[in-house]
Amino acid sequence: MAILMNKNTRILVQGITGREGRFHAERMVAYGAQVVAGVTPGKGGMWVMDRIPVFDTVRDAVRATGAEVSVIFVPARFAADAMLEAADAGIRLIIAITEGIPIQDMMKVVTYLDEKGVKLVGPNCPGVLVPGQTKAGIIPGNIAIPGPVGVVSRSGTLTYEVMYAMQQRGIGVSTTVGIGGDPVHGLGFIEVLQMFEEDPDTQAVVLIGEIGGTEEQKAAEYIARHMSKPVVAYIAGRTAPPGKRMGHAGAIVEGGEGTAEEKIRALEAADVRVARHPEEIAEILASLL
């Protein structure tokens, strides 16, 4: 079992005729994902890879193919409208890979999607991977094997490093969700942790956080009160200087808040094992499973 998606999930790619959209759509298909449609306004009637029809609108694509998940590779200035269009067309899950979307645009999008009951992963995220079944986004499929550990992360590259270390020790993944590190985004740690807690095939969870904001502290409170499954964590940015942005727009320490030490203390108080470096997560998991 997996969360959010499985091998039968029908996926469309908004921006599929662009360089990034096509590149990653091809890799999604090669992994086994059911990519059934693409959307690029003005390019309706085209075909990608001689098997994926392109439509002018998401509504047309959904009506013709039954797509239920959309992956957004649309340029930042059009990405908010693309997400709103997907929600209006009946898409249940939107995965926004695009980075650089203005915060004001995302505030409107998140409010609207909440009202519509549409789940959002991202923006500025690597997407979702269900090893051995499907993937939507840019997470490499060859760095993880199927297994009992759920992974939720704010950092794309650290996610890859951790999953590869797990694979080397024979530890598999149920689902990986890259939630992204922008300050305004869709699903957060708490929502994904709840899904993993309810998933019978997930036995443990890896949480990868970073400096900035208070999401990890809130996740620690949730873990202490609601999680019965063990959680292992890593927090990036221990040596980051205050006031300097490190990677994501949300990865910044301001006024002494959002430091790695603060997050680590909160997680350890919730009985979460916190790794000193990414590779140590696999070592800790091996002792727990």
Residues 166 and 266 in one domain: yes
Q: How far is CA 142 from the centre of its chain?
A: 17
Helices (H) and strands (E) in the chain, counts: 9, 14
- Of the three residues 121, 152, 172, the one that is the final residue of a domain is 121
In this prediction, what percent of the chain has a pLDDT beyond 70? 93
User: What is the pTM for the complete model shown?
Assistant: 0.93
Instruction: Name which residue leads in pLDDT, 37 or 244.
Output: 37
Rounded CA-CA distance 237/259 in Å is 8
When pLDDT is cut at 50, 70 and 90, the band that residue 240 belongs to is low
In the three-class reduction of DSSP (H, G, I as helix; E, B as strand; rest coil), residue 127 is classed as strand
Query: What is the average pLDDT across 256-271?
Result: 89
Q: Is the pLDDT of residue 201 over 90?
A: yes
Q: Is the pLDDT of residue 288 over 70?
A: yes
Number of structural domains the chain divides into: 2
CATH number (domain holding residue 245): 3.40.50.261
> Is 248 designated active site?
yes
pLDDT number for residue 242 = 54
pLDDT number for residue 258 = 78
Residues 147 and 217 in one domain: yes
Tokens of 268: 């350890």
pLDDT number for residue 255 = 44
pLDDT number for residue 238 = 67
Q: Is residue 3 part of a domain?
A: no
Check 185, 226, 248, 277 and give the catalytic one: 248
Whole-number average pLDDT of the chain: 93
When pLDDT is cut at 50, 70 and 90, the band that residue 177 belongs to is very high
Task: Identify residue 240 by its one-letter amino acid code.
Answer: A
Question: What confidence tens digit (pLDDT) does each residue in 101-134 have?
Answer: 999 999 999 999 999 999 999 999 999 999 999 9
Q: What is the three-state SS of 184-208?
A: CCCCCHHHHHHHHHHCCCCCEEEEE
- Of the three residues 121, 151, 177, the one that is the final residue of a domain is 121
When pLDDT is cut at 50, 70 and 90, the band that residue 156 belongs to is confident
- Of the three residues 121, 156, 188, the one that is the final residue of a domain is 121
In this prediction, what percent of the chain has a pLDDT beyond 90? 89
When pLDDT is cut at 50, 70 and 90, the band that residue 212 belongs to is confident
The range of the structural domain enclosing residue 39 comes to 10-121
Q: Is the pLDDT of residue 252 over 50?
A: no
Q: Is the pLDDT of residue 253 over 50?
A: no
Q: Is residue 133 part of a domain?
A: no
Is residue 24 within 8 Å of residue 49, measured between CB atoms?
Answer: no
Query: What is the average pLDDT across 191-195?
Result: 98
